[in-house]
Structure 1
Amino acid sequence: MQFIDQADIQVRAGKGGDGMVAFRREKYVPAGGPSGGNGGRGGSVILVATANLQTLLDFRYNHLFKAKDGERGGPNNCTGASGEDLIIEVPCGTVVYDAEAETILGDLVTPGQVLCVAEGGKGGLGNKHFLSNRNRAPEHALPGLPGEEHLLRLELKLLAEVGIIGLPNAGKSTLISVLSAARPKIADYPFTTLVPNLGVVRKPTGDGTVFADIPGLIEGAHAGAGLGHDFLRHIERTRLLLHLVDATGEDPIGAYQTIRQELLAYGRGLADRPQILVLNKIDALDRDAGFLDEIGTQLTDLSGGPVFQISAVAQMGLEPLLQALWLKLEQMDLLEASWKEPLSGVTG
C-alpha cells in the first residue's frame, strides 16, 4: 500500500432547494391561498476519523467532493427533501487546514470523531411565507442558498507512542523489525526508508504499544532538506523519542548533536519531548571497548540521561532498553493522570 500523508481536496456542500409558488385549488375551498413549500436544506460535507485507514491514498486522485442539493419545495406546504450529507472517512491523526486562510479547522484523533467542513445551504422560502393583509396571493418565493465551498489541506500525523529517530542508516528500520511484526525495507545504504513505518510492540502485560520508524533526518531537515518537514511532522504526536546513534559512524557525538539541533530548530516542543538515547551497532564496532565507553560517557553528559548500548541486528541489549522504555511510559502515564485529577480540599 502506498503511503500518502498529504492531500489537497475541494469540498462543496449542497445547494438549498428553491421555495415553491403554489396555491390551493381544492374543490369547495374558495380562496385557498398560497401553499408553496420551502426548499430542502443542502447536504453538508463531514469528515469522520476511522481506524481502518492508515494513509490518505484515497485522496490522491479524487480531489472534488460534493454533497447532494436539497429538493425544491412542493405544493400543499410540503417541504422539499434535504440533500444527503457526504461522509468522508479519513485516518485517525488527520489535521484539516483551510488551504486559503492557512488556519486549522480541526484535528481528528480518535475513531468516530467528526468534523463538518462545509455546511449545506438553507432552503428557500415558499410563497406561503409572504402572505399578508396587503398581499393575499403572493406569487414569489426565494431560491435556495448555495452551500459552503472550501479548499482543504489534509495532513496525516502518525499516532504512535514511541518515535524512533536518528540519522540515515542508524538502524531504525532494523530495530522496529526486530521488536515488532513490521517489515520495512532494510539495506546498507542511507535513505532506504522513504516513508514512516508503524509496528506494534507487546508489553509484558500483553498490551500493544505503537512504535513509529521515522525516516532518517539530516542536517537542515527543519528547513525541508531531505523531506525534513514530511518526516518531522510525524514526530509531533509521539510521546517518547527513541534516539538511535550509529556507534560505527565517523562522529557519533556529531550525529547526536545534529538531530538535537534539528529538533530545536523545528520547534513545536520536540526538543523537550522525553527521549531515550541508544548507541546501536555495537557488535560491528572494530575499535576497543574503551572507545565505546568514552562515547557513552560523552553522550550521557550531553543528554543528561543514561545511554543504552544495543545491536538491533544481533539482538543484543534489547531487554534492558525495553524495560527502561516501559518504565518511562508508565511514569508518564502516572504524571498525566495526576494532572487530570481534580483538586481536592479546595473551598471556594
Structure 2
Amino acid sequence: MAQGSNFVDYVKVCCRSGRGGAGSAHLHRDKFTAKGGPDGGDGGRGGHIILKGSSHHWTLLHLKYRKHIIAEDGQPGGSALRTGANGKDVILEVPLGTVAKDAETGEVLFEITEDGETKILTAGGRGGLGNWHFKSATLQTPRFAQPGEPGKEQWVILELKVLADVGLVGFPNAGKSTLLSVVSAAKPEIANYPFTTLVPNLGIVSYRDGKSFIMADIPGIIEGASKGKGLGFRFLRHIERNSVLLFMVPADTDRTIKEEYNILLNELREYNPEMMAKPRLLAITKSDMLDDELEEEMKAELPEGVPYLFISSVSGKNILQLKDMLWRTINDK
C-alpha cells in the first residue's frame, strides 16, 4: 500500500476523446452496375476515456505524471455499407472513492465507489452517417455523407476520498498513529510534533475469528480546519467517506475532554453538517498515566451520550475492548 510521499490524492489531467469517423459517400459500382445507389457505410465512434474502479489501487500515483490522456479517433465508413472501426477506448483504473470534477467549473461529474464499476469520463465523438441514410424517393443518389463529430477536450480533476470503516479524528499528538500501529500492520510515521501524518494512513485491523475492518488515520485537525486553515479541507475530505468516527482526546489535554471533543465536532459540523449523522465514539488516549481515582473524576466531565473508553496504545489498556466497540458500531449501523 502506498504511503508517505507516494500517497497522491489529487491529480489534474487533460482528457481528449477521439473524433468520430466520417460517413462514406460511396456509390455502388461493379462490372454489372454502372450507376448503383448509395452504399457508403457509417463512420466509427471516437474512443471514450473511461474510469474504472479498482480495489487494487490505493492512490492516484499512477496518474500523477500522465498529464494528457488521448483516445483514438474512429475510422471512416467504407463501401458496401461497411462501418468504420470504433476508436480504442482509454480505460483508467482508479481507487474506490475517486471523485471526478470538471476543472473549470468545479462541478462534480460522478464518483467511483465499487470495484469494476465503469463510467465514461470524456465521451468520444459519434461517427458520421453514410450516404445510404439520405436516400429518398426524390433523392436517389445522395453524393454526400455526414462528417464525424469532433472529440471533446477537457481538464478534469480526480480526487480521492479514503474509504474506511473507521476514521480517527483528533488534534495532532492525540495518539492516532500510535493506535493504528498497534492494532494493524500499518507502519505510520510517529513523532511527538504536530502534522507528522501529512497523508492518510490506512490499516487493516484484524478482529476475532478472522474478521477485519479498515481504519484510517487522517492528518490532525486544528481549529479552523473547516475554513481551510492548516491541512484543512484536504484532511476533512477524507473523513466524509468513513462510516464510524472515533474521536481521540489525550488524557493530558490542556482543556477538558468535553471541550476538546466539542471543538473537533464543531470543525466537522462547519465543513459538512451531514457528517453529524455518522456514529461517534470517544477514546481517551494515554490513559496508562491515570489511576482509578483520577479516571473516575474525569468521567464526570465527558460529553453526554457518546460511548467512550479510556485506552493506552503503549500498555495495551482496553485495546481489545475498543476493537469490540468499533466492530459492534460498524455492524449496527
In structure 2, what is the equivalent of residue 323 of structure 1?
Answer: 324
| Map 1:51-130 → 2, pairs under 5 A | 51-130=55-134
Within the alignment, does 1:9 sit opposite 2:24 as a pair? Answer: no
When residues 132 and 321 of structure 1 are mapped into structure 2, their CA distance, relative to the original with a 3 A threshold, is closer
Please say if residues 169 and 189 of structure 1, whose CA atoms lie closer than 8 Å, have aligned partners that are also in contact: yes
Please say if residues 160 and 239 of structure 1, whose CA atoms lie closer than 8 Å, have aligned partners that are also in contact: yes
Residue in structure 2 matching 1:275, options 280, 296, 300: 280
Once the two structures are overlaid, the 10-residue window that deviates more, 276-285 or 200-209, is: 276-285
Please say if residues 42 and 70 of structure 1, whose CA atoms lie closer than 8 Å, have aligned partners that are also in contact: yes
| Map 1:93-242 → 2, pairs under 5 A | 93-242=97-246
Tell me how far apart the structure 2 counterparts of residues 325 and 218 of structure 1 sit (CA, whole Å): 24
Please state whether the residue corresponding to 2:249 is helix, strand or coil.
strand
Within the alignment, does 1:313 sit opposite 2:281 as a pair? Answer: no
In structure 2, what is the equivalent of residue 344 of structure 1?
Answer: none
For 1:82, the aligned partner's letter is: N
Please say if residues 168 and 216 of structure 1, whose CA atoms lie closer than 8 Å, have aligned partners that are also in contact: yes
* Percent of residue pairs identical: 45
When residues 330 and 129 of structure 1 are mapped into structure 2, their CA distance, relative to the original with a 3 A threshold, is closer
Q: CA deviation at 1:327?
A: 2.3
Tell me how far apart the structure 2 counterparts of residues 303 and 131 of structure 1 sit (CA, whole Å): 78
TM-score, normalised via structure 1 length: 0.88
Q: CA deviation at 1:83?
A: 1.0
Please say if residues 15 and 69 of structure 1, whose CA atoms lie closer than 8 Å, have aligned partners that are also in contact: yes
Tell me how far apart the structure 2 counterparts of residues 242 and 231 of structure 1 sit (CA, whole Å): 15
Q: CA deviation at 1:205?
A: 2.6
Please say if residues 13 and 120 of structure 1, whose CA atoms lie closer than 8 Å, have aligned partners that are also in contact: yes
Tell me how far apart the structure 2 counterparts of residues 99 and 236 of structure 1 sit (CA, whole Å): 21
Please state whether the residue corresponding to 1:168 is helix, strand or coil.
coil
Tell me how far apart the structure 2 counterparts of residues 264 and 280 of structure 1 sit (CA, whole Å): 23
Q: CA deviation at 1:164?
A: 1.1
When residues 131 and 189 of structure 1 are mapped into structure 2, their CA distance, relative to the original with a 3 A threshold, is same
Alignment RMSD, CA only?
1.9
For 1:274, the aligned partner's letter is: P
Please state whether the residue corresponding to 1:129 is helix, strand or coil.
helix
Residue in structure 1 matching 2:260, options 241, 249, 255: 255
Q: CA deviation at 1:135?
A: 4.1
Residue in structure 1 matching 2:298, options 295, 299, 303: 295
Please say if residues 256 and 301 of structure 2, whose CA atoms lie closer than 8 Å, have aligned partners that are also in contact: no
Q: CA deviation at 1:178?
A: 0.3
TM-score, normalised via structure 2 length: 0.92
Tell me how far apart the structure 2 counterparts of residues 82 and 196 of structure 1 sit (CA, whole Å): 41
When residues 22 and 318 of structure 1 are mapped into structure 2, their CA distance, relative to the original with a 3 A threshold, is same
